[in-house]
Amino acid sequence: MEYKRLFILLEGNDDERFFEKIIKPEFEKRYDYVKLYLYADKSPKTIENFIKSIVAMMADYIIMADINRSPCVTRKKEVVAYKKIRGKRVNKENIMVVIKEIESWYLGGLDPASLKDLGIKYGKKTDDLTKKQFNRLMPGKFISRIDFMQEILKYFKLETAKQNNRSFHYFVKRFKI
């Protein structure tokens, strides 16, 4: 039987927290080994070499990136592939773009009852939610942003997130989670 490995390259700690709790367990149902790797502070050469080693192992990989201010997903994928990684071998199909930022995925997984329990006043789709808007939603009862995010993950519902955020829905559908 083939040993299946998956490497998920993430931009930062908020992404890692989300993927560790919500996404990684889903992939572990299909892969023997799932590794999260933070790439934002790495040099393009380091990332390119890391991806080359993944490909040489015949492992799978996903590169996650927030769309931030890019005009579209296609442009963001080009920026990641050619500026951040400088990887001619990077398959752009392996680059997944979060719209707008990972915080929109966190909030997207909360149903109305969870929003109420947490004291969050937000009742619409989360596609356009930015980090700044997310931070303003944090009730005063939370000690820190990290505490707030960890509490959200306790309430997170995959099906709710698929309904509330299009890029999360696309990600789940694309990878059959």
Q: Which of 63, 98, 133 is the last residue of a domain?
A: 98
pLDDT of residue 87: 66
Q: Tell me the pLDDT band of 22, cut-offs 50, 70 and 90.
A: very high
90 and 122 belong to one structural domain: no
Mean pLDDT of the chain: 94
For 47-76, what is the mean pLDDT?
Answer: 93
In a domain, residue 93? The reply is yes
In a domain, residue 169? The reply is no
Question: Three-state secondary structure along the chain?
Answer: CCCCEEEEEECCHHHHHHHHHHHHHHHCCCCCEEEEEECCCCCHHHHHHHHHHHHHCCCEEEEEEECCCCCCHHHHHHHHHHHHCCCCCCCHHHEEEECCCHHHHHHHCCCHHHHHHHCCCCCCCCCCCCHHHHHHHCCCCCCCHHHHHHHHHHHCCHHHHHHHCHHHHHHHHHCCC
**Model confidence pLDDT, tens digit, residues 113-134:** 999 999 999 988 999 999 999 9
User: Domain range spanning residue 133?
Assistant: 103-156
For 138-152, what is the mean pLDDT?
Answer: 96
18 and 94 belong to one structural domain: yes
In a domain, residue 170? The reply is no
Placement of tokens 């009862």 in the chain: 141
pLDDT of residue 88: 65
128 and 82 belong to one structural domain: no
pLDDT of residue 144: 96
55 and 84 belong to one structural domain: yes
34 and 82 belong to one structural domain: yes
Look at the chain and report how many structural domains it folds into: 2
